[in-house]
Every structure is written in C-alpha cells, then in structure tokens.
Amino acid sequence: MWPYILKRILMMIPTLLGVLTLTFVVIQFVPGGPVEQLMLQLKGRGGGGVGVQGMEASGAGSDYRGRRGVDPQQIAQIRALYGFDKPPLQRYWLMLKRFARFDLGQSYYQHQSVWSLIKSKLPVSISLGLWTFFLTYLISVPLGIAKAVRAGSRFDFATSLLVLTGYAIPGFVLGVLLLVLFGGGTFWQLFPLRGLTSDDWDQLSLVGKVLDYLWHMVLPVTASVIGSFAVTTMLTKNAFLDEIRKQYVLTARAKGLPERRVLWKHVFRNAMIPLVTGFPSAFIGAFFTSSLLIETLFSLDGLGLLSYDSVLRRDYPVVLGTLYLFTLIGLVTKLISDLCYVLVDPRIQFERLER
C-alpha cells in the first residue's frame, strides 16, 4: 500500500500546479484588475475608497490631474503596490514559492492575510457544514435501511417521493419559502432573519447562548440539508438491496439465523462500505461547500461569500490562496477516502488493482 500512497502523493503535485497555473493564466487576461479599479476610484473621488487609503498608507500618493487622468508615475506606483511591476513569469514563481511555505499572501482590499480571512469565515462554514453532514447521515442511513427492508411498499414509495421532491427544490428557493413562512415575511415570525447569533449574545448565559445559536441555525440548516437527503438515502437503500440478494444472505437465512441478526451483523457491514469510504470527503467537503446563495440569503458571512466577493473585486491573493488551500485539501481527502476502502475491507489490495 505504501508505494500506492507515494505514487498518489507525487501525482498531487502536477495536479495542484495545473490548477494554479490555469487560474493564474486566466487572471492575466481578465479585465478590471486591482490597478484599474484603484485608478477608477482616483478618477471618481478624488480618492476615498479602501484601495485609495491603502495606497496613501504605502506612500504612493493619490493626486488626480483632472482630464489628463492619473499621473504615469502614480500608475507605476500603483502597479508596484500590487506587485504588477514584475513580469508575469516572475510573479508566478514568487507565488509558487509562497505557497510552498504555506504563505497565502495578503488581501489587496481588506488589509489582512488570506489565512486570517479564512479563519474569520470558518465558524459560519463549519456551522453549516457540520450540521448538514451529521443530519444527512443520521436521517438518511436509517431511512435508506428501512426503505430497503420494505422495498416496494407504500412506505418506500412515500419516502422516495418526499426525498426526491426535496432534492428537486433548490436550497435558496426553500430558504426564501422558510423566511416567508417562519421568518416574519408574511405569516409567522418564529425564527431570526439573519446571522448566527443575536446582538446580545455575549450577555446571555451558557444555556442561553446555545439555545440562541440553535435558534438562528434552524432555517439555514433546513434549507441546506433537505436537498442532501435523496442521494445518501437512495445510495443506502440500493447498497442494502444488492447485499440482501446475495448468496451468503440466503445461506444465513437457511441456517435459521434471526432476520435482525442477518441484517445487522452480515448485511450492514458490507452494505456500508460505499458510505463509510465517502465519510472523509463528505466531512471535509462540508466545511467548504456551503451554498453561496444560502449564506447571502441568511446574511451569513462564510467562505462561499468570501470567494465570491474576491472574484468580483479581483482580489487575486484571496482567489489564488483559497483555491490552493481547497484544492490541496480536496486531493488529500480523496487519498484518505481511497485508503478507507482498505480499512473497511482488507481484501482490497491496491497493488493488484494496478496490475
């Protein structure tokens, strides 16, 4: 297994370089970069935006000469401020050197390191991600088992209709509906409209803080989790049905074993292999795949909103830094998922599969 792990790790390097290189090349041709945006601020004010203040703090000045536009010397200072005075190839190598040290750089507009921005947004993404992950598996796995045992029954048909209906409804549409019904839109004001906590959260007791947090999470988590039930439920059901029809199950029943023992001791272990091996990807992915529309709808400032704003504002260090981090985490998680196959089923040998 160790040669396989080493080979996968070595394959991560060109994959990661390919993603970063492609993104860096695309960035070179995207109009409206930080230099152009700062020049527009200078023309439109005289100055006063965040970028202008950052330029003044760096000593670049902010004089605007009316119809003659921005002084060429100032343009050169602006390009140097953002590092665009260097050739693209040199900037590319400098970026790779920083990333090799896990230095993600500094944001152009928020005057913070990319690491600080990611850490500040993580609580929102972790809250949405963990609740979505745990509720999905806690509900979908038992429901899928029950559907497999009662395959073809009215219960199977009714639950399939419900989970597929939830899957067909986009999360942001469901979120709007929940706000209208329970957020004080038209009917009942049972839950808050925005945020993770109330304004007086610091003044609450420990129990009050927990209840306030849960109260705020009901609507966004509901909007996020409903669409996740269908895939896990149907995967569990189909995996159990495949195992139930195998010869070893018929043999166990023929020996007179109780149906409960056959189901939970023999079928359960084999049927759960595809679900267990997907745990690492689902668990890690839950932190970074929260819906941008859900975050916007419920005013939750998470990683999705950070990435979206960074693309719109051409905040390239944040775009490239978050892309590098998320891609690296995705590649490592994929490797862990593959290794989980061996832990769950020791009969799998990667060396034999490669031959």
Exposure string over 263-278, b if 16+ CB within 10 A, otherwise e = beebbeebbbbebbbb
Tokens of residue 310, six digits = 């960074």
What's the whole-number mean pLDDT along residues 8-29?
A: 90
Exposure string over 45-64, b if 16+ CB within 10 A, otherwise e = eebebebbebbeeeebebeb
- Looking at residue 353, what is its pLDDT? 47
**If pLDDT is split at 50, 70 and 90, which confidence band does 75 have?**
confident
- Looking at residue 185, what is its pLDDT? 62
Q: Residue ranges per domain, the chain?
A: 31-111, 115-354
Per DSSP, the chain holds a count of helices (H) and strands (E) of: 19, 0
In sequence order, the 6+-apart residues with CB closer than 8 A to the CB of 325 are 104, 118
**If pLDDT is split at 50, 70 and 90, which confidence band does 14 have?**
very high
Tell me what percent of the residues of the chain surpass a pLDDT of 70: 85
pLDDT at residue 137 greater than cutoff 80: yes
Rounded distance, CA 323 to CA 23, Å? 9
**If pLDDT is split at 50, 70 and 90, which confidence band does 61 have?**
very low
Comparing 293 with 184, the larger pLDDT belongs to: 293
- Looking at residue 196, what is its pLDDT? 80
Question: 70-74, 199-203, 329-333: lowest mean pLDDT where?
Answer: 70-74
- Looking at residue 58, what is its pLDDT? 46
Given the structure tokens 């975050």, which residue do they identify?
Answer: 295
Start-to-end CA distance of the chain, whole Å, equals 13
Rounded distance, CA 164 to CA 251, Å? 35
In sequence order, the 6+-apart residues with CB closer than 8 A to the CB of 78 are 35, 38, 39, 55, 60, 70
Comparing 197 with 219, the larger pLDDT belongs to: 219
Comparing 70 with 91, the larger pLDDT belongs to: 91
Are 224 and 128 within 8 A, CB to CB? yes
CATH topology of domain 115-354: MetI-like fold (1.10.3720)
Comparing 33 with 117, the larger pLDDT belongs to: 117
Quote the mean pLDDT of the chain: 81
- Looking at residue 83, what is its pLDDT? 79
Are 286 and 132 within 8 A, CB to CB? yes
Are 296 and 305 within 8 A, CB to CB? yes
pLDDT digits (tens, 9 = 90+) for 211-263: 888 898 888 889 888 888 888 899 889 988 888 888 888 888 888 888 888 88
Tokens of residue 342, six digits = 């061996």
Residue type, 178: L
- Looking at residue 47, what is its pLDDT? 40
pLDDT at residue 45 greater than cutoff 70: no
3-state secondary structure of 189: strand
pLDDT at residue 17 greater than cutoff 90: yes
Tell me what percent of the residues of the chain surpass a pLDDT of 90: 16
